[in-house]
Amino acid sequence: MTQRNRTTTRGRIRISGFDSSAVEEEREFIDWDESVDSNVSADRWTRAWQRFRRNRTALLGLAVIGLMTFLAVFARPIDLFGVTVQPFAIAPYDPGASNFNALTQPPSLQHPFGTDWSGKDIFSRVLVGGRLSLTIGLIAVSLALGVGVPLGSIAGYFGGWIDEFIMRIVDVLYAFPFLVLAIAFIAIFGQGFWRMIGALVLVSWIGYARLIRGEILSVKENEYVSAAEALGARDRSIIFRHIVPNAIAPVIVQATLGIGTYVLSAAALGFLGLGLEPGSAEWGSMLSSGRESLVEGNYWITFFPGVAIFLFVLSINLVGDGVRDALDPQGDTASERLR
């Protein structure tokens, strides 16, 4: 290649006497090592957890959820295929067992939360009911993510008629009030644990699809996406390796908050008598079956399941806010200053 020195003297300023070759020589008065100190690079989940840990209210929420999960798991023994996996029983009574000697008892030492009209121990029912409510929340949110995230990603990345098709379905589903749609689903397919989850997933995946599509539309403009294309990466790997990990943060926040919404919706469906089979120990169904006795002044039948729902949803929301702050690197310094 030919050497063109002309450009270096193109300007009219000329510096002379600056001899940079001295730097190349070994000079013992300079005691400085150029090599970098490598500190271990934390990936972004580690950094997010470190930020989350500093958020006290979120930690409190997490602790409450942890406690409730613990109580739900250890409330009654769990048998799997005839083998007892979890032998402990915190709940003093069988949640389904009626006790005709103690009908509609107010809270006492025997029955800390009282009993209902058929003498079932409410404390035990609230503990065991946590199992249903929590699993409904978790399973429904995972399934809704499993449907919404891939569909929304594909719509956002490919655009065109694929996008039109998926997003019009989303629009149609959005046009129904969400509880009405869930009720219609249950009315058609009948009641039951999985059917209720099906109804909840049907009405909620659209939110995640729309959210991730919007994120992907902005993330895919980044040059690293074109760079991956220019390297010959396949569409699948571009979407799921390069785009989705960068677009997923708001979806995670939404999903965390979503668990609370599912528990509330399950309770609402249960209250309307459309949730699980009548009489099952689920917080919403318990509220529903206790509503006549509220008029008679027997507050405890509805109060304790209500408190359980309230505590759980509040904690989930606190955790959700914490997750949002933790996943948003820009928000870091701002919230730090406030505290």
Partner 1 sequence: MALLEVENLETRFYTEEGVVQAVNDVSYAIDSGEAFGVVGESGAGKSVTSLSLMRLIENPGRIESGEIRFKGRDLLSLSDEEMRELRGNEIAMVFQDPLTALNPVYTIGEQIAEAVRLHRDATDAEARERAIEVLDAVGIPDPEERYDQYPHEFSGGMQQRVIIAIALSCDPDLLICDEPTTALDVTIEAQILELLQDLSEEFDMAIQFITHDLGVVAEICDRMMVMYAGEVVEQGTVEEIYYEPQHPYTVGLMSSIPRVGSERDELDTIPGTMPDLVKLPTGCSFHPRCPYAEEACTRLDPQLVDVDTGRPVDGPDRTTHSAACLAHSGELDGELTYSVDIVEETETEDTDTVEDTQ
Distance of CA 230 to the CA centre of its chain: 34
- Residue from the set 175, 231, 295, 338 that interacts with partner 1 by CB under 8 A: 231
Host H or E run for residue 219: helix 193-219
Give 36 or 175: the residue with its C-beta nearer to partner 1: 36
Residue 131 binds partner 1 (CB under 8 A) = no
Report the alpha-carbon distance of residue 37 to residue 128 in Å, rounded: 54
Q: Is 24 in the site for partner 1 (CB under 8 A)?
A: no
Tell me the C-alpha distance between 90 and 85, whole Å. Answer: 15
Name the token pair of 163.
């996008």
State how far the Cα of 70 lies from the Cα of 237, in Å rounded to an integer: 39
Determine if 236 is a binding residue for partner 1 (CB under 8 A).
no
With CB under 8 A as the contact rule, the residue among 63, 227, 307, 334 that binds partner 1 is: 227
Q: Is 35 in the site for partner 1 (CB under 8 A)?
A: yes
- Within 10 angstroms of residue 316's Cβ, the number of other Cβ atoms is 24
Under the criterion CB under 8 A, does residue 189 sit at the interface with partner 1? no
Which one of residues 6, 236, 337, 339 is an interface residue with partner 1 (CB under 8 A)? 6
Burial of 339 (0-12, 13-18, 19+ CB in 10 A): exposed
Q: Which of 72, 70, 174 is nearest to 129 (CA)?
A: 72
Binding segment toward partner 1, per CB under 8 A, in 123-131, 222-230, 253-261, 294-302: 222-230
CB 199 within 8 A of CB 269: yes
Counting contacts by CB under 8 A, is residue 180 touching partner 1? no
Where do the H-state alpha helices sit in 231-248?
235-237, 244-247
Binding region for partner 1 (CB under 8 A) out of 62-70, 241-249, 251-259, 287-295? 241-249
- 54-73 mask for partner 1 (x: CB under 8 A)? --------------------
Phi first, then psi, for residue 121 (nearest 5°) are -75, 120
Binding flag, residue 10, partner 1 (CB under 8 A):
yes
Residue 7 sits in the site that holds partner 1 (CB under 8 A): yes
Rule CB under 8 A: which residues touch partner 1? 1-2, 4, 6-7, 9-14, 16-17, 34-36, 38, 41, 43-44, 159-160, 222-224, 226-234, 241-242, 245-246
